[in-house]
């Protein structure tokens, strides 16, 4: 998989993505990412990429042309990888779910746009037609942290990224129960058997794998009902939108 990230702050990415699972997956050749500075495509001597909003109001707005050119430049590289899925990280986007992450992890190439300032000129969003994604109902300073969250969530699903084949499948939101849908994970325990007067549930020491599996499933359903009842009410067949990914065309104006 190839991931291109367009940002005004490229220095933020390497310290985070080079560590832990993403870093190991990249070293193993499972994924590679390329961070592009949108300012490199500014057409003024100060590399300015924002301006005041029409109609007045606080904040600044990212202008169209540098972002448009940055996307065109990134997508012109390594076209043999496959079609590009464009993503804009924005609080107005579709909520990020494990279902959506699973869909994106199956695609050969992603291009993520980390917006900044008050927002991005709506005209270039319309022209690029990206999949708009939000990581939660709150506002951050920019799309850089959400892009890193999305990359981490995707990379850990790539075959070979985790040490055990079943690790990702048993995570919260990943376990798909035919009756209850996606569930939270069950409680986990390790040595010692007793800690500060708290003991490991006896059934986990029984060696009866069938009983352990039943216990874990019961705890998953119980925990989901207590903490996230909305998941039990959700449609298990929920599937993400599958936006058509089109290459950037030259500006005809």
Backbone angles phi, psi at 217, to 5 degrees: -65, -45
Active-site residue (options: 69, 103, 152, 171): 171
CB of 70 closer than 8 Å to CB of 38: yes
pLDDT of residue 116: 87
| Mean pLDDT of the 169-178 span | 63
Task: Name the residue with higher pLDDT: 185 or 170.
Answer: 185
Mean pLDDT of the chain: 90
Question: Is 202 part of the annotated catalytic residue set?
Answer: no
Average pLDDT over residues 216-227: 95
Nearest alpha-carbon partner for 228 in 180, 163, 165, 178: 180
Residue 5 has pLDDT above 70, yes or no: yes
- How confident is the model over 122-155, as pLDDT tens digits? 999 999 999 999 999 999 999 999 999 999 999 9
> Active-site residue among 69, 103, 118, 185?
118
Mean pLDDT of 65-81: 97
CA distance 63 to 43: 11
**Res. 247: pLDDT tops 50:** no
Catalytic, out of 2, 86, 156, 182: 156
User: How confident is the model over 141-170, as a mean pLDDT?
Assistant: 86
Question: Residue 17, SS3?
Answer: helix
Confidence check: pLDDT of 252 > 50: no
pLDDT at 233: 77
pLDDT at 166: 56
Residue 50, C-beta contacts closer than 8 angstroms, at least 6 positions apart = 60, 61, 62, 63, 116, 117
DSSP class of residue 116 equals B
* Domains of the chain (ranges, CATH numbers): 2-155 (3.40.1280.10), 172-233 (1.10.1270.20)
The catalytic residue among 24, 26, 37, 91 is 91
Sheet holding 131-134, edge to edge: 32-37, 2-7, 109-114, 84-95, 131-134
Per mean pLDDT, which range of 32-46, 157-171, 222-236 is the poorest? 157-171
* Torsion angles phi and psi, residue 65, rounded to 5: -60, -45
Q: Is 156 a catalytic residue?
A: yes
Burial 191-223, CB ≥16 within 10 A → b, else e? eeeeeeeeeeeeebeeeeeeebeebbeebbbeb
Active site residue 216: no
- pLDDT for res 3: 98
Q: Tens digit of pLDDT for each residue in 84-134?
A: 999 999 999 999 999 999 999 999 999 999 998 889 999 999 999 999 999
3-class secondary structure, 233: helix
| pTM for this entry | 0.85
């Amino acid at each position: 998989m190839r991931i291109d990230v367009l940002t005004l702050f490229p220095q933020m990415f390497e310290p985070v993505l080079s560590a832990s699972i993403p870093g190991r997956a990249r070293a193993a050749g499972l994924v590679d990412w390329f961070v592009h500075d949108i300012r490199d495509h500014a057409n003024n001597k100060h590399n300015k990429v924002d301006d005041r909003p029409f109609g007045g109001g606080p904040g600044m707005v990212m202008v169209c042309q540098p972002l448009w050119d940055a996307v065109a430049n990134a997508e012109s590289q390594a076209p043999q990888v496959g079609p590009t899925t464009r993503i804009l990280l924005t609080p107005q986007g579709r909520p990020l779910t494990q279902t959506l992450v699973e869909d994106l992890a199956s695609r050969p190439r992603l291009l993520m746009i980390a917006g900044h300032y008050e927002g991005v000129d709506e005209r270039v969003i319309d022209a690029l037609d990206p999949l708009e994604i939000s990581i939660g109902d709150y506002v951050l300073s920019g799309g850089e942290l959400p892009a890193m969250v999305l990359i981490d969530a995707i990379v850990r699903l790539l075959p070979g990224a985790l040490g055990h084949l079943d690790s990702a499948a048993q995570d919260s939101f990943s376990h798909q129960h035919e009756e209850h849908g996606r569930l939270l994970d069950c409680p986990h325990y390790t040595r010692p058997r007793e800690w500060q007067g708290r003991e490991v549930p006896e059934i986990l020491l029984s060696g009866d794998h069938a009983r352990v599996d039943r216990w874990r499933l019961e705890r998953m359903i119980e925990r989901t009902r207590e903490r996230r009842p909305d998941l039990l009410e959700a449609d298990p067949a929920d599937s993400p939108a599958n936006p058509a990914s089109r290459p950037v065309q030259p500006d005809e104006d």
